[in-house]
Amino acid sequence: MTVWKATGALALLAACVSVQSAAAQGPDPELELCRSTGLAALRERNPAIKDVTLDVEGMTVAKANTKIEDTPIKTVVIGDAFLEKGKQDTRRTFLCLIGEKGKVLLTFFTDK
């Protein structure tokens, strides 16, 4: 059920956000916040994952002013991430939702 809510919210976000390429902005603390939070969540499920590297050049950071139900969404981060597991890197699509006061609400990596 949560996936459907998130999917609907993302469609709504597309109409309400101002989008900027992360590379055009320079280093963004929101990217590191999303990366570190995502890595911690992945390690809980799979301790073999050593690190997560974000493709900063292709990452999109979108400022938003919307809600999922009663939860405000202030920033959406989406792009490619590389998961380091042993000597192998795996490319995944990465999504991160940030709410008020810089709180990460969701990090999501596609399976492949």
pLDDT of the chain along its 112 residues, tens only? 444 444 444 444 443 444 444 444 445 899 999 999 999 999 999 998 999 999 999 999 999 999 999 999 999 999 999 999 877 788 999 999 999 999 999 999 998 7
pTM as predicted: 0.74
Distance between CA atoms of residues 95 and 36, nearest Å = 13
Domain containing 25: what range? Answer: 2-109
State the total domains in the chain.
1
The pLDDT value given to residue 36: 95
Distance between CA atoms of residues 104 and 94, nearest Å = 13
